[in-house]
Chain A
């Protein structure tokens, strides 16, 4: 028995995938190849003088400590953002799934932050934690904690992680909730009758059944943390203090669009592309094996 759909018309399948291919070529392949070309060039901002320099831009990157340091910072930042966004979202989703009254209100409220653009979220958190006029900073100072993320690197990192994860929690929440609702109640009830407590039921039944959702979200969250967060950094810390929050994607933006070093910035984009492709391949090859569909 052939389960696959078979197209009789030879042209139709190509027409059907054509829009997707056009979009991919236009918005991914073409810009990515432009970045690749640019990364081998050294030119002035206006492009009036351009020289092919082989791997000079890449060599420059690895000559200084700043770029390697940025890798370390990115690793901390990305894993913390993905970890925080996933765990908090899972907790909220499990709670909301069990809520009996006004469940819709909770859900709506939790989904709201996703409508806020990263840079706006950054500005919001910036004001809350502003050492001079911020509400939260004020209460922390009352409680004896000297909050000054303009000089304290650890505090700055904590702040940008919160700001970046906050928005992603809504997104994860939505998927977790859908995943939870797809789990048949009979499984859980059967386990309950067998005497399994809520904790045990969660880890032995719910969590494994959520693994496809979990896997999808891990991939999406890591890509988000790597690529989509420069707005947050730009609004809150600009990579400081003393490079403490200088993540790779912010450096790409800053070197390319603020400092106009197009070759260097393109070389960093290529590096970033390689990192994310590697990460995604690793995830699909090794983590996906543990996923039960």
Chain B
């Protein structure tokens, strides 16, 4: 009896040792850690399912790791523990951090070249790909979910105040006039508010007016760049916002996009927020609303230029076998297909990352059926992007956004003038940049 048990044990051990050999014939697994929960997460799973069913060599396994910061931290911790995922989704402000970690990442252009699969960087929207591409045209990460800020406005309120609902404000002075009329008519408590103030009212404001927010081509030219977003236009804009609070033209909505409730509850009539907020507003707003391009200051020459993106891209991490990277390349190839991207764009409100997906969506009549969904694309592709409007690349930029938020609050609370506030933000931001430069030499 005892012998028999030992024999069984031995067989079991052999089986365990041999089984992985059989598993080699099974598809190669590619792990993708992402930051999309809820409905977006289901869409991500759907895309992976589609890829897995389209072939039998590779299996992409998507895993939700929490918000952008959580996902990035999980990826970093896994890399340090030597068990990194193949693909890590990183938000746009983490770009410089990822780029600087040369030993940790495998640039996308390299992954695609080694795979031998067709890859044309020119197929992607220039303003999207530009954000993730080096100055000599090498794409470092795969654009995935990108959005850009637009102006949302409450058409019902425009009608009630006797304004033309098809004529949203195109410039800031016009917006102020309209806001005054709306408040005077008693249809809303304040004219307008904004989400993501650092991203929209500094970074996009600057790009939209073809102005830099830092030296060295907005940081693309090297780690020794410094911030310069305390220029005359930015100061004027913020002083104006602060002053506008008295006349109820503007009201501060808080950090991130917690101010969205101000728009959906009808406290304000106009609101600047990411184009990816469209689906949310469609669900929560009990009124007719439209979208328009961001307003601009007409006295600035060259405005409007084009806006820049926010969102995230997919980075490939080091530490895997060559065969695995082939799988990654095959998946990126699938992701860039017009049908796949057009579907993602239409379901989520994120931009289609390729020109072909944009074209396909238009041909399908999506924009005609859903007015307002094309605004972001028109705004992104208004002009050929310049050094000031193709994106930005500063180390630890997430920290600078935090610094900006704190200074904006001092400006809007009247504790500092716009000039003092922005000067202080630039100073603190530059200290953070120098620290990043020192750590990443």
* Residue contact B396 to A133, C-beta cutoff 8 Å: no
Which residues of B from 394 to 441 have beta carbons under 8 Å from A?
396, 398-399, 402, 405-407, 409-410, 412-413, 415, 428, 431-432, 435, 438-441
Answer yes or no: B101 CB below 8 A from chain A CBs: yes
Q: Is A45's CB under 8 angstroms from B76's CB?
A: yes
Chain B residues whose C-beta falls within 8 Å of the C-beta of A243 in the assembled complex: 406
Is there contact, CB below 8 Å, between B80 and A46?
yes
Bound complex: CA of A69 vs CA of B305, how far in Å? 41
Q: Which of A130, A151, A255 has the most CB of B within 10 A?
A: A151
Contact with B along A101-138 (1 / 0, CB 8 A): 00000000000000000000000000000111100000
Q: Which residue of A lies closest to B415 (CB)?
A: A242
What residues of B have a CB within 8 angstroms of the CB of A48 in the complex? 101-104
Query: CB distance A46 to B101 under 8 Å?
Result: yes
A12 at the A/B interface (Cβ < 8 Å)? no
CB neighbors of B among A8-39 (8 A): none
Contact between chains at A241 and B406 (CB < 8 Å): yes
Does B396 lie within 8 Å of A153, measured CB to CB? no
Cα of A241 to Cα of B404 in the assembled complex, Å: 11
Q: Are A45 and B97 in contact (CB under 8 A)?
A: yes
Q: Are A49 and B76 in contact (CB under 8 A)?
A: no
**A197 close to B (CB within 8 Å):** no
Question: What are 27 A-B pairs with beta-carbon distances under 8 A?
Answer: A42-B435, A43-B439, A44-B97, A44-B101, A44-B439, A46-B101, A47-B80, A49-B440, A131-B254, A132-B262, A132-B267, A150-B255, A150-B258, A151-B409, A151-B413, A152-B413, A238-B255, A240-B255, A240-B406, A254-B402, A255-B399, A257-B73, A258-B69, A259-B396, A259-B398, A259-B432, A260-B72
Known contacts: A257-B73, A264-B435. The answer to whether A240 contacts B101 by CB under 8 A is: no
Which residue of the partner chain, among B100, B253, B399, B405, contacts A259 with CB atoms under 8 Å?
Answer: B399
- Chain A nearest CB: distance from B97 CB in Å? 5
How would you classify the secondary structure of chain A's contact residues: helix, strand, loop or mixed? loop
Measured CA separation A182–B415 after assembly (Å): 53
Apart from A45-B97, A239-B406, 16 more pairs, CB < 8 Å: A44-B440, A46-B79, A46-B104, A47-B79, A66-B428, A132-B267, A133-B265, A150-B255, A150-B409, A240-B406, A242-B413, A257-B69, A258-B402, A259-B398, A259-B402, A261-B396
Greatest chain B CB density within 10 A among A45, A152, A240 is at A45
**Of all chain B residues, which has the CB nearest A237?**
B255
Are B435 and A261 in contact, CB atoms less than 8 angstroms apart?
A: yes
CB of A205 to closest CB in B, whole Å = 49
Chain B positions within 8 Å of A47 at CB level: 79-80
State whether A242 touches B410 (Cβ < 8 A). yes
Question: Is A263 located at the chain interface by the 8 A CB criterion?
Answer: yes
Minimal Cβ-Cβ distance residue in B for A153: B413
* Chain A 250-293: CB-based contact to B (< 8 A → 1; otherwise 0): 00001101111101100000000000000000000000000000
**Smallest CB–CB gap between A126 and chain B, Å?**
9
CB < 8 Å neighbour of A263 from B76, B104, B439: B439
Q: How far is the CA of A45 from the CA of B439 in the complex (A)?
A: 9
User: A228 near B: Cβ within 8 Å?
Assistant: no
How distant is the Cα of A130 from the Cα of B79 in the complex, in angstroms? 39
Q: Helix, strand, loop or mixed for chain B's interface? A: helix
| Chain B residues at the A interface, C-beta cutoff of 8 Å | 69, 72-73, 76, 79-80, 97, 100-104, 252-255, 258-259, 261-262, 265, 267, 396, 398-399, 402, 405-407, 409-410, 412-413, 415, 428, 431-432, 435, 438-441
A260–B399 Cα gap in the complex (Å)?
9
Q: Does A189 contact B (CB under 8 A)?
A: no
Residue of B nearest to A41 (CB): B439
Return the contact of A240 from the options B69, B398, B405, B439 (Cβ within 8 A): B405
Q: Which residues of A contact B398 (CB under 8 A)?
A: 258-260
Q: List chain A residues, Cβ under 8 A from B405.
A: 238, 240
Beta-carbon nearest neighbor of A264 in chain B? B435
For the complex, what is the distance from the CA of A132 to the CA of B262, rounded to whole Å?
Answer: 6
- Please, how many angstroms separate the alpha-carbon atoms of A159 and B277 in the complex? 28
CA distance A257 to B406 in the complex (A): 18
Q: Decide yes or no whether A64 CB sits under 8 A from chain B.
A: yes
Q: Could you say which residues of chain B place their CB within 8 Å of the CB of A133?
A: 261, 265
Known: A46-B79, A260-B396. A132 touches B410 (CB 8 A): no
A133–B253 CA distance with the chains assembled, in angstroms: 12
In the A-B complex, the 3 residue pairs with the closest CB atoms: A241-B409, A259-B399, A150-B254
**Which residues of the other chain, B, contact A130 by a CB distance below 8 angstroms?**
258, 261
Q: Which residues of B contact A43 (CB under 8 A)?
A: 439
Query: Which single residue of chain A is at the shortest CB-CB distance from B76?
Result: A45
Please give, as numbers and ranges, the residues of chain B lying within 8 Å of A240 by CB-CB distance: 255, 405-406, 409
Contact yes or no, A261 B103, CB < 8 A: no
| Across-interface contacts of B262 in A (CB, < 8 A) | 132
Set of chain A residues within 8 Å of B261, measured between Cβ atoms: 130, 132-133
Q: How far is the CB of B428 from chain A (nearest CB, A)?
A: 7
A241 to B435 alpha-carbon distance, docked (Å)? 25
CA distance A255 to B400 in the complex (A): 11
Instruction: Determine the chain A residues whose CB is within 8 A of the CB of B258 once the complex forms.
Output: 130, 150
Interface of chain A residues 70 through 121 with chain B (CB within 8 A) = none
Smallest CB gap from B70: residue in A: A257
Q: Which residues of A contact B73 (CB under 8 A)?
A: 257, 260
Please give me the residue from chain B that is nearest to A149 by CB atom.
Answer: B254
1/0 per residue A143-163: CB within 8 Å of B?
000001011110000000000
Using CB atoms, name the residue of chain B closest to A244: B409
Q: A150: which of B253, B415, B435, B439 is its contact (CB, 8 Å)? A: B253
